[in-house]
Amino acid sequence: MLEISDLQRRFDGRPVLRSVSMRLEPGEYVAITGESGVGKSTLLNLIAGLDRPDGGRLALDGADYGDLDEDSLTRLRRDKLGFVFQAFHILPHLTLRQNVVLPLWLKGRKGPQADREADRLLDAVGLADRADSWPRELSGGEMQRVAIARALVHAPRLILADEPTGNLDPSNAAKVLTLLAERIRASGAMGILVTHSPEAARSADRVLHLTPEGLSA
């Protein structure tokens, strides 16, 4: 479970997040929308443990971020989080299988079993026959599906997606969103999708709006 209560973040004395609270149960997938500059990425960075709040509490499966030092936060990110961002950081000098297997390598799992896991995910995103291809051979939509496979391969508890369909055509965007929602629900993970697109937001179980006052349905 992800618990956020009364989260606050200021930049140069200017409050961006004044009091943000939410709760996410296993298997739940929520979309967060809100005007440009309202603090969506700031919130996502805090949830990702990439930034520290000025007040309030964040806890994932009972682990309070405030009790974790930088090394423990890095471990939490590596072991429990999956990231799908628009700049998907697919590494050009690695094959698709190697890109997808990377989160398992980082956890010290290297070998045939890890490769099989990566292939299973590539299959799930419809790219089973492209495991040995290079990223430069892929379309934008295919690349985004590789990013999703990689975000899910280590069975993260929490998946964070920031405008994952930003530069996709409507048909590929719909495929990517369906896939993300299906995988989150099937694995009992939790998902947070930040998006400006009402259509993308509808692929989640519920939609929350971020305003200067906080998060509301």
Ligand X SMILES: Nc1ncnc2c1ncn2[C@@H]1O[C@H](COP(=O)(O)OP(=O)(O)OP(=O)(O)O)[C@@H](O)[C@H]1O
Site of interaction with ligand X (CB under 6 A): 11, 16, 34, 36-42
Q: Which residues pair with 193 in a beta bridge?
A: 31, 161
Give the span between the Cα atoms of 25 and 164, in whole angstroms.
Answer: 22
Would you call 183 helix, strand, or coil by DSSP? helix
Looking at beta carbons only, is 33 or 99 nearer to ligand X?
33
* Least CB distance to ligand X at residue 196 (A): 6
Comparing CA positions, the residue from 141, 151, 152, 206 lying closest to residue 175 is 141
Which H helix or E strand runs over 38?
none
Q: Which is nearer to ligand X, 51 or 169 (CB)?
A: 51
- C-beta of 65 vs 85, nearer to ligand X: 85
* Cα dihedral value 200, 56, 187, 88, nearest 10: 50
In the complex, the smallest distance separating the C-beta of residue 4 from ligand X, rounded to whole angstroms, is 15
Whichever of 142 and 163 has its CB closer to ligand X, that residue is 163
Task: Report the distance separating Cα 50 and Cα 107, nearest Å.
Answer: 19
Q: Alpha carbon 58 to chain centroid distance?
A: 16
Compare residues 137 and 213 and give the one whose CB is closer to ligand X: 213
Strand partners, 26: none
The DSSP 8-state label assigned to residue 110 in this structure reads -
Smallest gap from Cβ 40 to ligand X, in A, equals 4
